[in-house]
Amino acid sequence: MTIIFENESGCSLPFDALELAKKTAEAVLDQEQCPYEAEINLLLTDNKGIQKVNKETRNIEHPTDVLSFPALEYEKPGDFTFLEDEELFFHPETGELMLGDILISVDKVHSQAEEYGHTLQREFAFLVVHSMLHLCGYDHMEEAEASVMEQKQKSVLDSLGIIRD
């Protein structure tokens, strides 16, 4: 797995964000039985940066914790079979499946970890898992979809021993 990583937030985290992102992203792809090596872009930003992108892309004037921009449109979430004859979605040099982009507000990582009473690592890992599920075609706009995503998020985090404190 390749993660093209940039931290433009001006804030550091007390752990290796790239290493944790890679571990959690790979766990999602394993759970989803993705048959390909994958590539994602991960940008850490602050509330101001994510609010700007949220306004530009969703016309929402508020900062959010994470934004996901899937590169693929799935007929069924987590079903990668439509890619068997598609070269367009694979990096021409590495052959990796290009899943999309993730933006995370480091400000929100800090505030939500405090609000929910768990570690920064747990909050960051949760946001990566949540976003990776979006990159695999899942959504949470309807109650049934939200239930599926919540179960999958919990399953991945539990498998990694990343639990709420």
The tens place of each residue's pLDDT in the chain, 165 residues long, gives 999 999 999 888 999 999 999 999 999 999 999 999 999 999 999 999 999 999 999 999 999 999 999 999 999 999 999 998 788 899 999 999 999 999 999 999 999 999 999 999 999 999 999 999 999 999 998 999 999 999 999 999 999 999 876
What Cα–Cα distance (Å) separates residue 161 from each residue in 13, 27, 85, 115, 142?
20, 12, 37, 21, 28
Q: What is the pLDDT of residue 30?
A: 98
Q: What is the pLDDT of residue 165?
A: 67
Q: What is the pLDDT of residue 84?
A: 84
Say which amino acid occupies 112.
Answer: Q
The count of residues in the chain is 165
Q: What is the pLDDT of residue 29?
A: 98
Q: What is the pLDDT of residue 86?
A: 80
Cα distance between the two ends of the chain? 29
DSSP per residue, 110-151: HHHHHHHTS-HHHHHHHHHHHHHHHHTT---SSHHHHHHHHH
Q: What is the pLDDT of residue 164?
A: 77
Q: What is the pLDDT of residue 122?
A: 97
